Amino acid sequence: MTLTTPGSRRFLTKLTVIATLGGLLFGYDTGVISGALLYMKDDLALSAFGEATVVSSLLFPGAAFGALFGGRVADRIGRKRMLLVCAGLFLLGALGCALAPNVQIMVAARIVLGLGVGAAAVTCPLYLAEMAPADRRGRMVTINELMIVTGQMLAFATNAVLDHLIHDPHVWRTMLAVAAVPAIALFLGMLVLPDSPRWYGLKGRMAEAREVLRRGRSTAEADDEFALIAEHTAHMLKSTATPFSVIRDVPWIRRVVMIGCGLAIVQQATGINTVNYYAPTILEQSGLGVSAALVATIAVGVTSVVTTIIGIILLGFVGRRTMLLIGFAGVALSQAALAATFLLPGSMTRSYVILACMVLFVAFVQMFIGTVVWLLLSEIFPLSIRGFAMGIAVFVLWCTNAIISFAFPLLNTALGSTGTFGLFVFVNIASFLFVLRHVPETKDTTLEELEERFEAQHSTAV
């Protein structure tokens, strides 16, 4: 059954726009550092190790532990309150980064910012998945991915504009401070939204669950979905098991959590954040000037946004698993082309061919992988441990991100660009094989039906 009331459509649109401001901040705060580094490394006298530490401190320990604890806290206090906490962390971290007088304060502020990024990375898709009707879940949740890449594009564009307008070595402080604006908007917006009906159901607040469903569905659809939630959560309210003990003691749930962690690893193992964090540096080293490299990086941001939109449209017609397989095949091929391009003699033409290969690489990741992995992570875990399990998976995601982001400059120095991107080719072939063997299809099924199906399938497989 599809939605028919204008009021329900307006409600779902409003909550999607507000909640995904967390994704916008996620994208801006992870993308802005690429341009800020070009000035910050001189202003704060950063060594190569210091540069890697500033970049990776947001990811680990910041975002990694933000995800790990954010998921658990979201299960306890609710998705709405967790997003309010995220907004506060985003605001505090952005102001701390912009005002940091030295490397130590910068790293501390980046860790605070990372706590917000990690917690929002768990809570935003979780909230959207639990609020959405089954037939709209794919597109609603992946709007968060669109906002992430939009945030990254805005960061790249803001960096280039500020570099053009403000001829000051301290311009990086303004680049970082801009993130305070959407943080305030997220906080104010979440104040007027309810929590998710699944979380209300998990806490035994069934009247509130029914009311939220009726705001986002037709009456008949809300009643049908409420019956599913009520039946599904009835036995959970009697359980005293902790999420950790559930994962430890129930083989099929443990298997699903392992698949989620695998998805987190392969998404980051594409190497996408080597482009997000180091694109201006790569392009500058290839022969472009600083300003030209910043402007050229906007092409990467625009590609991310456009291809994410295409990916969201494709999700209405193509299965999640098929999307991932196409994505990893394309990423491996585009990275092979990128590795080969670095062997060409140095010239301006070579610089733009490198940019073209980077754009193609980003297109495959964002169209087929980025949109799908976050969606699958919001879908596959059972309700009783959903926030906790997603927190574990996103913790693994951010740890992998941090390792790759920290290692990339060192690998690039040791192996050269050809060797580094050639290594990524083999990693993405392995990721293709992982998806082929282990990843389930989840399209057009309610969260409750998915849980029942996974229990039946995985219990017989163990």
Residue 133 domain boundaries: 6-193+239-461
Q: Does residue 217 register a pLDDT over 80?
A: yes
Q: How far apart are CA 25 and CA 426, in angstroms?
A: 32
Judge whether 102 lies within some domain: yes
**Ramachandran class of 112: left when φ > 0, alpha when ψ lies in -120 to 50, beta otherwise:** alpha
User: What's the average model confidence in pLDDT over 185-212?
Assistant: 94
Judge whether 147 lies within some domain: yes
* 423, 410 Cβ separation under 8 angstroms: no
Domain count for the chain, please give it: 1
DSSP state of 439: P
pLDDT range class, residue 3, cuts 50, 70, 90? very low
Judge whether 399 lies within some domain: yes
**3-state SS string over 176-229?**
HHCCHHHHHHHHHHHCCCCCCHHHHHHCCCHHHHHHHHHHHCCHHHHHHHHHHH
* 343, 260 Cβ separation under 8 angstroms: no
Residue 74: the pLDDT is 93
Judge whether 207 lies within some domain: no
Residue 426: the pLDDT is 95
Q: How far apart are CA 36 and CA 397, in angstroms?
A: 24
User: What's the average model confidence in pLDDT over 179-186?
Assistant: 94
| Rounded percentage of the chain residues whose pLDDT exceeds 70 | 94
Q: Report how far Cα 382 is from the mean position of its chain's Cα atoms.
A: 20
Q: Look up residue 47 and give its amino acid.
A: S
Judge whether 223 lies within some domain: no
Omega prior to 61 cis, within 30 of 0: yes
Q: Per residue in 110-122, pLDDT tens?
A: 999 999 999 998 9
Mean pLDDT of the chain: 87
Q: Report how far Cα 393 is from the mean position of its chain's Cα atoms.
A: 12
* 83, 120 Cβ separation under 8 angstroms: yes
Judge whether 262 lies within some domain: yes
Q: How many CA atoms lie within 13 A of 94 on its CB side?
A: 25
Judge whether 72 lies within some domain: yes
User: What's the average model confidence in pLDDT over 273-281?
Assistant: 70
Q: Does residue 69 register a pLDDT over 80?
A: yes
Structure token digits, residue 256: 């699903």
Judge whether 203 lies within some domain: no
Backbone angles phi, psi at 35, to 5 degrees: -85, -40
- Residue 66's CATH number: 1.20.1250.20
* 235 SS3 class: coil
